[in-house]
Every structure is written in structure tokens, then in C-alpha cells.
Structure 1
Amino acid sequence: MALFVILSLAVAVRPATAQSVLRDAETEALLNDMARPLIIAAGLQPNNVQLVLLQDKEVNAFVAGGQTVYIHSGLIAAADNINQVEGVVAHELGHITGGHIVRMGEGMKPATGITILSLLLGAAAMAAGGTEAGMGAIMAGQQAAMGKFLAFSRTVEASTDSAGARYLRGAGISGKGMMQFWDKYRALEYRYSSSYAPVDPYMQTHPRPADRAAALEQDLKSSPYWDKPTDPALEARFQRVKAKLAGFVGDPQTTLRVYPETDKSLPARYARAYAWHKAAYPDKAEAEIDGLIGLAPHDPYLLELKGQVLLESGKPKAALAPLREAVQRSGNAPLISALLGHALIASEDPANFDEARRVLKVSVARDNDNPFAWYQLGIVYAREGDQPRAALATAERYSLIGQQRLALASAEAAMRGIPQGTPDYLRAQDIVMASRAAAEDSKRRR
């Protein structure tokens, strides 16, 4: 589907905030194609590694366990070219291959020992009447423990930089982007520090950008691929996605200032199409999109965007033709199929429901992690009078968004109406068991 927020994700070991996942067929195809040679160079299986885009202005990427790399939209916005993103992804793959999320316990153990010892010493001093001395011992112990853990973290990050450099070389990709991005981080470091509050290198989770660059500069420059240019087609795709993302997440006025109407390049027109659409100027958005399609008449992602704008402007029937072609030319991309299913339902024509059911079933079969597609499939089943399967689709959706009690109730309703032993019955049964287990686990944590 053209760029849209699919759900909120609470990520472990990150700050306690929910981050919105952005799903987009074109963006995901680009990230997968970009990362594939790096993943292979890292000794991993491309089908097992997932790159997830989060709507977050922070210039960052991270791994939170498993084989998933989370990339902030702010990082895409800050990158000048795709080679810079390749450098960041190579680094994050180093965290996966190094098992660093699991190994965090190695860094926590000595730090925890220091903390406990300082608490005991502080308590003993306070019991003997030395309140200030006791508090000082506790605070000093906590600071020492933090320093111990941060030193471990910096060591891990340095080794991950080295791994990332190896993966770039193994994939035949230049390390210039990695060096360039460290320069960006260095600029950010200067921006947020001052002579009054300089950055303390011993209180950072990562080595300072200048130190990271110095440590690997010779290694990166000695690669036979240092001067190898990026594939122009891949770079062109990145510039499209970057502009598209800017138009989607940015304020329309800002987007139109960065990409003025005098700029007739494809990325600029892409960004403006989103900006006009967000600013509720559908005619201008459609005109911009038609101009884009004139440049590439059968581009599935431009056709997808035209269908989305028409659909969200209250013209679902007009959206069907471009979306059907987008689905066909994208090889039945599941996110675009979900959007076509939505348009078919929104047309309010019962004659379109059979097609909607078919394309939505293909969508969830190829990407069953899309709650929006399950929601639309549930609507089709309900309108066709198949309430048990509508309940099953609803159970799938609730399960994906973490609403386990609602998933349990919907799955139990589905089991009451679906013949026993059928694949749909067994799936409903699986959701019931998983939801009950999740509910019990939640009770134990309270």
C-alpha cells in the first residue's frame, strides 16, 4: 500500500514509547533489495531478516532481538544517498550476528554486582549513623556501575562497526557511506553539546563518531570497492522513496518549500503529490500524479498512489482501474492488493465483493502480518453473510495488534460456526490457545 501507518509498536529495550510502523510496498522492496547482499555477506538468510521502518524523526536504527532491523524515518530523511543507509544497515547486521541483545547480560552482570555492593556498603554506613556517607557510597556505586556498563556497550559498538565494514566489503559495496554517516553524527554531537556541557566520552553508549571513523578509516579505504559507485538505478529508487517519505510524514508547507513546484524532477513531484493530498487539494495531487504517470505510464507504485488518492478523495470506483494494474504489474504485492480490496469494498457494489475477497485472501496469504488487510477481509465476509469467517479475520487482526482478550473472544465465536477439522477451524483453535497463553502470562506479570 502507498505509505501509511499500520500499527503502533512498543519495542523492548527502547524508550517506553510506542512507535508507528510505516508499511509501503515500494519502500520495503527497496530496503530488501538494498540489504540482500549485506545479509548474505553476514552469513544470514535474506528471508529470515526483516527491515522495519518506524515513523520517528530521530536519526537512528537499532536491533531489539531476533533478526529485525528497525530504521527510523529520520534516518532516511538525513541520508544523502543509499550508500549511507547501507553503511548503517551493515552495522546493525553486526548486532544480529554478534547476538548483542542476548549478550547485554554480560555487561549488566558486573554492573549489577557493583550496584549491589554499593547498596550494602551504603546501608551499613547509614545504619552506623553516617547518612551522608551512606548516600555517597550508593551514588558512587551507581555511577561506577553505569560506567562499567557503558564501557561494555562501547566495546560492543566498536566490534559491530568492524563487522559492518567486513559485510560491506563482502557485499562489494563501498564504505564511503558509513564514513559519511559518522560525519553526520559528529555534526549532531556538536549541535547538542557546548563548551558549558561538553560530551563526556565515558558516559556514552557508542564511541564518539570521530573515534569510530579513525578506527576503521584505513580498513574501509583499503577495500577494493571504496571507489565503486552505487548502482544508479538503486540510487534513483532511494531518492524516490526519500521524497515520498518526506511528503507522507512531513508538514505539507515544509514539503512544498523543500520540493518547490519549480523542481520538475520525479522525486520532487512524488513528494508534492503527497503534500497536496495531505493538504486536501485533491485536484492538485491528481495533476501531479498524472504528470508522474506520464513519465512512467506503467509504474506500479505511481499507479498505486493514484488509486490511493482517488480512494481517499471519495472516488473508490475511479480508483479500481489504476489499482488493478498496480497489483498486476507489482506481481500481486500484498500491500497493494490490500488497498485494492479496500477500494472494491468501498465501491459499495456487491458485484465487487467476490474480487475483494479473492485479492484480500492473496494479500494475507503472502503477508499475514497486516492487520489492515485482515480488517478488510472481515468486512467482506460479514457483508457476504459468513459471520464465522468474519470472526476469524477479526481474531487475526486483534491478535496482531496485541488485543488478546478480543482475539480470544472472536476466535471462540469463529470455532462455533466453522466445521471442525477444517484449516480455518484449526487456525481459530491456534489463536484461542495463543491468546489464552498470552492472557495467563499477563496475569503472572502483574
Structure 2
Amino acid sequence: MTARWLRFAAIAAASLALLSRPAAAQQILRDAETEAFMADMSAPLVEAAGMEPRNVQVLVINDPNINAFVAGGQYVWVHSGLIAAADNVNQVQGVVAHELGHIEGGHVIRYGEGMKEATGITLLSLVLGAAAIAAGGAEAGMGILGMGQQAAMGKFLAFSRAQESSADLAGARYLSKAGVSGKGSLEFFKKLQNQEYRLAIPQDDSYGRTHPLSGERINVLREVYTVDPAWDKPMDPKLEARFERIKAKLVGFVSEPSQTLLKYPESDQSLPAHYARAYAWHKSAYPDKALAEVDALLAAAPHDPYFLELKGQVLLESGKPADAIPPLREAVQLTNQPLIATLLGHALIATENDANFAEAEKVLRNAIARDRENPFAWYQLGVVYEHRGDLPRAALATAERYSMMGEDQMALRSADAAMQGLKPGTVDYLRAQDIAMVSRAAVEQKRKKR
């Protein structure tokens, strides 16, 4: 019985670890167009939830499972598999609204309450069971232990299901307040229900599950959504067109090229199909075919910044950095987007032309000013500093990059090297000092745990 408790504790601890470190084992897919779309799509829902859109981020991670979650802070993490499985933008809005319900309800913080209550039941059963065994009632003692484990797990799962139901209803409120139909939410739950059918999950009772059964959720939400004034409101056609684009490029980026070409065959001449095939051909090392798809996109929209970005990316990664600069430069001028600016900085550096390094520094510094959480931008800026012989600032840029990546020992080493060459009291020196202090504390903490 003790082994069952240890297994329960291990599962619960692992769940808590996943909640606190969402992207530790998964690749965050950062893309300028996708992030802009997610921000615009979710902004009305975020406002309806009483939060500030600029403080909430909806980010995509590379995971084929159909899932989304929150894990501390105001971040919603959406799996790439969910976007690929969604039929329209309204379905994604329904999922995001649900996850915002978790944020607004403080469910990640309150997760510990459910764990604490379940653990209390288990510890009590251990004490009573041990006392019974010590008194000679071994069978009774083992029974107490077993019932304690079952009660603890049941309490924890009930707590989790209650949070999910609360988030469902909160999400429905946000959709209604934002004037967005709940049809997509119901449609997506039906997709999940079909998965449950395929996995032969019993549909009569959700006891023993962290989430209510999809059928139960559909029955509750249908009563809410169908009477809402937004029920028959059509999707925004422009937002839906943007969704089809980001879905296609995501499929092209994460899927095997052969799968992408089956899903988006040459006979499909739509913009999303050209987009997906461009990525498929680029991944397959056919730059000419990739550029032909990009040119088809630009023929339809010559000044679309994201089509220009893709052209620059294909040219840069095909060994033609000088040719990549004009489309990337135009894309930056049109969007002022830091991720695209970082790509432009990379292209300027990759030319190995001394005349381009001053522009690269300016572009990269502006990019970092708007998005500091980009390790690759810091890496490129470090290359610029090293090229001009400014080794202390190159070391500081390296420290920033390693700090973001969680490489505390390397961040500490680089920060110490930066401080040796920087003037004490300056902004850069103080920043290097901060990184060194935080990294040193992290290194010491890891050492104590060994």
C-alpha cells in the first residue's frame, strides 16, 4: 500500500513540475506571423477576462498532441498538434478562452491546495494504519492504508475536475462578452470525445479522471452557448484567412515534407498551400522549388511582410545572405517585428562584409529592446561586438544568452568575464553583475541538491 502512495506522490509531483516548467522538454515555436495572429485572436477574450492583452501571451510549442495549458504567469501554451487539428479559428478561440479561465481563476496557484488536502488524507491514513498494525491488526491496518490512498486520489481528481469545469464556464463567459460564438468550443470538445471513443474510454462516469468527460462538458456548455446572442455570429473572414495561413506554415514546418505535400498537393493553388509547400521544399533542401512557391505568394501579395520574411529566410539558409537582405529589410520596415529584425541582422552578418556590421548592430539592438527573450538575437549581437573587438560586451551578450537558456554555469563565467573589462558603475557593468549574482545563486543551489 505504501508503494501505491509513493506512486501517487510521484505522479502528483511530476504534474506539479510540468505545471511550473512548461517548455523544459519542448521546443517553443517562435514565429512573427503566428505570434501576431495569436495576439490579435485572443485580445478580445483577454479583455473579456478582465486582463490586459499586452500582459498575456499565447505561444506555440512543438508537440503533436492535441492540448493546451497554462503553467504560471499569464501565458497560454498551445500545442502545434492542436492547431493542426483545428478546423477553424473559432475552435482555437474556444480553447484559448478555456485556458484564460484557468489564469483568471488562479488555478495554477491553487493546484497546491488540492495536493495539500490529498496529502493530508494520505498522511492521516498512514498514521492510523501504522497504529492499527502496531496494535496487532495487520489486516485492518492495511485496509486503512488502502482506503486512505483511494480517498486521497479521489479528492485530488475531484479538485482537478472542478477546476476544469470552472474554466469551461469562465471561457463561455469570455466568448459571450467578446461576441464570439461558442460553436467552435463545442466542435472541439466533440473532437476530443471522438478521441475518447477511439481509446475506448468508458463514457458513463468521469470518476478517476483529471478532466470531466467531453460528453459531460458538451451537455453543460450546449445549454450555455445555444442561448447566447453570439451563437449564430459568423467568424471574422479575415481572421479565418490568417488562421489558415499560420496553420499551413506550421504544418509545413513541423511535419515531414512528404506528409505536407500529401496534405497540400500541387493541384492546390491556394495561398495556404503555397505556404506549406514552400516550407516542405525548403526542409527537403530544394531551394529553387521553395523559392518558386514563395514567388507565387508574392505574386498575389507583393508587399506581404511574412512572405518577404520567408523569401529572405530561404535565401539566407540557402547560402545567399546578400540576396536575403532586401526582402528582409522591407519586412522589417513594414512590421518593426523583432523576430524578423533578428533574421535581418543574421543575414547582414552572414555576408561577412564589414560595411554591413554597423547596420547589423543597430538592427539587433533595436530587436532586443523590444524582445529581450531571444537567445539567438543575443548570440548575433555578441558576434557583432566580437567582430569590432569589444570583447567585454561580447561576453555580456553571451551571458544574456546563456542566462535565458538556463545554462547558469556558462552565464556566470561569461558575466564575470564581462565585468573584468567593463567600467564599474555603468549600465552594462551592473547588468553583468546582476546576471553573475543570479547565476551564482542558481549554481550553488544545484550543487547543494547533489
Q: With the length of structure 2 as denominator, give the TM-score of the two structures.
A: 0.93
Residue 414 in 1 paired to residue 418 in 2?
Answer: yes
Partner Cα distance (1:92, 1:198) in 2:
24
Cα distance change, pair 356–132 in 1 and its aligned pair in 2 (3 A): farther
Return closer, same or farther for 1:368/1:346 CA change in 2, 3 Å cut-off.
same
Q: Does 2:156 correspond to 1:149?
A: yes
Where in structure 2 are the equivalents of 1:242-321 lying within 5 Å? 242-321=247-326
Report what 2:49 is aligned to.
42
Match of 1:428 in 2: 432
* Aligned equivalent of 1:228: 233
Given that residues 19 and 108 in structure 2 are in contact (C-alpha distance below 8 angstroms), is that contact kept between their aligned partners in structure 1? no
Indicate conservation of the 8 Å contact 2:278/2:294, yes or no. yes
CA drift at 1:281: 1.1
| Percent of matched pairs sharing the same residue | 65
Q: Which of 341, 365, 372 is the matching residue for 1:368?
A: 372
Name 1:94's counterpart in structure 2: 101
2: CA distance, partners of 1:323 / 1:91: 37
Greater relative contact order, per chain length (Cα 8 Å cut-off, separation 6+): 1
Task: Return the letter of the residue paired with 2:176.
Answer: R
- State the shift of 1:439 in Å: 2.5
Runs of 4+ aligned residues of structure 1 deviating over 6 Å after TM superposition are 14-17
Distance 2:23 2:203 in 1: 27
Report how far residue 38 of structure 1 moved.
Answer: 0.6
Matched, 1:31 2:35: no
Give the conservation status (yes or no) of the 8 Å contact 1:11–1:18: no
The alignment partner of 2:26 has SS state of: strand
Partner of 1:387: 391
User: In the alignment, which residue of structure 2 is the partner of 1:123?
Assistant: 130
Q: Deviations over 1:61-115 (max 9, x none)?
A: 1011111111110110111011111111111111111111111122223211221
Per-residue CA deviations over 1:202-252 (Å, capped at 9, x if unaligned) read 011111111111112121111111111111111000000000000000010
Task: Specify which of 180, 185, 194 is matched with residue 187 of structure 1.
Answer: 194
Task: Give the AA of the match of 2:207.
Answer: Y
Task: For structure 2, list consecutive stretches of 5 or more residues without a partner in the other structure.
Answer: 1-16
Write out aligned runs for 1:191-230 (5 A): 191-193=198-200, 201-230=206-235
Aligned to 1:56, which of 63, 79, 102? 63
For the residue of structure 2 that corresponds to 1:261, the secondary structure is coil
Is the 1:79–1:85 Cα contact (8 Å) retained in structure 2?
yes
Q: For 2:18 and 2:356, how far apart are their aligned partners in 1?
A: 39
Q: How many residues align?
A: 434
- Residues 193 and 199 in structure 1, CA contact (< 8 A), matched pair in contact too: no
Provide the rounded CA distance (Å) in 2 between the counterparts of 1:200 and 1:275: 44
How far off is 1:441 after superposition? 3.4
1:166 equivalent in alignment to 2:177: no
Q: 1:46 to 1:227 in 2, by over 3 A?
A: same
CA distance in 1, matches of 2:146, 2:173: 41
Partner of 2:243: 238
Question: Which one is further off, 100-109 or 223-232?
Answer: 100-109
Amino acid at match of 2:369: A
Match of 2:359 among 347, 355, 358: 355
1:396 equivalent in structure 2 = 400
Q: How far, CA to CA, are the matches of 1:377 and 1:221 in structure 2?
A: 54
Residue of structure 2 equivalent to 1:5: none
Q: 1:128: how far off?
A: 5.1
Paired amino acid for 2:386:
A
How far is 1:177 from its partner?
0.9
The residue matched to 2:332 in structure 1 has which SS? helix
Residue range with higher mean Cα deviation, 394-403 or 221-230: 221-230
Matched, 1:67 2:74: yes
C-alpha change, 1:199 and 1:375, in structure 2 (3 Å) is: farther
Which letter does structure 1 place at the counterpart of 2:101? G
Alpha-carbon separation, structure 1, partners of 2:107 and 2:447? 30
* CA distance in 1 between partners of 2:183 and 2:21 (Å): 29
TM-score, structure 1 length as denominator?
0.93
Query: Do the aligned residues in 2 keep the contact of 1:381 with 1:390 (CA within 8 Å)?
Result: yes
The 8 Å contact of residues 20 and 72 in structure 2, kept in 1 or not, is answered as: no
Give 1:82's match in structure 2, choosing from 69, 80, 89.
89
CA distance in 1, matches of 2:139, 2:326: 76
Instruction: Show CA shifts across 1:33-83 (max 9, x none).
Output: 011111111001111111121100111110111111111101101110111
